[in-house]
Amino acid sequence: MANTETNRIENKEQLNEDFEQEVIAFLNYKEGGIIYVGVRKDGQVVGLKDIDLTQLQIKDRIKNNIQPSTLGLFDVIVETIDNKEVIKVVISSGTEKPYYLRKKGRTPEGCYIRIGSSKERMTFDMIDDMYARRVKNSLKEIESPRQDLTFRQLKIYYEENGMKLNDNFARNLNLLTDEGKYNYNAYLLADENNISIKLVKYLGTNKLELIENHEYGYCCIITATNRILDRLVAENTVYAKIEYKGRKEVEMIDSKALKEAVINAIVHSDYTYNTSPIIELYSDRIEITSGGGLPQELSQEEFLEGVTAPRNKELIRVFKDVDLIENIGSGVLRILDAYDKNCFKFMEHFLRVTFKYRENPFKYDSENKVPTNDTINDTLKDTIKLTKNEQQILNLIKNNNSITREEIVNKTKLSDRTISRVIKHLQEENIILREGSKKTGYWKIQK
């Protein structure tokens, strides 16, 4: 990393009193930005002493000291640079500009914007102009078509990730309008709605012969997303070859890029157009189309550089809470790690991502036998590469099969959320199995 300040990068040696001003400047800037805490102005990395406390303070100050709501617009990440731990705060361009200090209000003393490599106070004219251009038809302000909504599925997803929604969850997650009624975000996340995401399959390379037509939805949009992702896993052929060094595999579609494209289409789609994403499978490619075109005032170049200006920040916040999104703003860059930028097609009212299928690289190898999907899935479980955290937790379970989650937290110093995610993955891969209750049960090693 070149630790130099730019129009999108701000360095801070430590968390100081003007931190919120820097965040506001990036929220009001069309490209957003990044703040590194633990890095001097000259780029020298000094690190932080109490990384966990600083991380909590940053989240608390951004959420409580800035208005309008910043939920879903920032991410706080711990990174190691030059063998020292620093905090990277990723800030998206806001959708309800201008943002301002809560105690100063929408005034030049409370509103800032990024100009060059520094923040500047906004004038009254700048504030008025920005407010006039604010997006009026955000999902937060659109009343739900129904008010008799329930959220059983949403609560289960939060509980699975170690969180519990209290009685004020609708207000905390911005699922209410200013009048206190359920908004369109709530409608999308409710147990029942009228929203569906289409997945269609054609026989050839055009739309002439339709062979499958499915609709995933009419339920919590997280449930619909998971069902679509599961279906696409089954569609994604894995080409395999057994070599003397082990098993070699190539996916027909890069699975990480595919997941990012699907989730991006769902959380960034403009539902005010009464359109939902559509996924189309052809004999040579897959196309994922979402409504609304590019969000905000982003150019194509800025979009392809990973600049974020989320259209539906409340949805992004929830998807991140339930572990469907890892880091804000990483989706496009992950896609470009596997595919050329030409996979994106920009239209006035739509955005399409196209992934061409990879051919079987082993098809001319007489020894190669491409297994069925069931065989692939069984074999993959025998060749899983565990991460450092997964291996650490698995070793603890091997040494003490009655170990509790609290004991794992104390021994590993990992967060409860990280441990929940690791255990969930180990269970999904059939590596460990929980027998009995949470209090009196034990872990069983499957393989």
Cβ neighbours around 311 below 10 Å, total: 22
Q: Which residues contact 152 (CB under 8 A, 6 or more apart)?
A: 191
Do residues 181 and 323 both lie within one domain?
yes
Do residues 122 and 148 both lie within one domain?
no
Q: How many domains does the chain have?
A: 3
The answer to which of 50-54, 192-196, 234-238 has the lowest mean pLDDT is 234-238
Do residues 128 and 147 both lie within one domain?
no
* Bridge partner list, 119: 114
Residue with tokens 């050839």: 204
Do residues 20 and 118 both lie within one domain?
yes
- What pLDDT does 367 receive? 47
372 belongs to a structural domain: no
Is 53 exposed, middle or buried (CB count within 10 Å of its CB: 0-12, 13-18, 19+)? exposed
Do residues 312 and 166 both lie within one domain?
yes
Q: What pLDDT digit, counting tens, does each position of 409-434 carry? A: 888 878 877 888 888 888 887 788 88
Q: What pLDDT digit, counting tens, does each position of 133-154 carry? A: 775 557 888 889 899 999 999 9
With a cut of 90, say whether residue 436 has pLDDT above it.
no
Q: What pLDDT digit, counting tens, does each position of 375-391 carry? A: 434 443 444 567 778 88
247 belongs to a structural domain: no
With a cut of 90, say whether residue 13 has pLDDT above it.
yes
User: φ, ψ for residue 423 (rounded to 5)?
Assistant: -60, -40
Domain residues for 438?
384-445
Rounded to whole angstroms, the Cα distance separating 229 from 60 reads 33
Residue with tokens 């297994």: 371
Q: What is the mean pLDDT of residues 106-116?
A: 94
Domain containing 276 — which CATH number?
3.30.565.60
- What pLDDT does 376 receive? 38
Domain containing 393 — which CATH number?
1.10.10.10
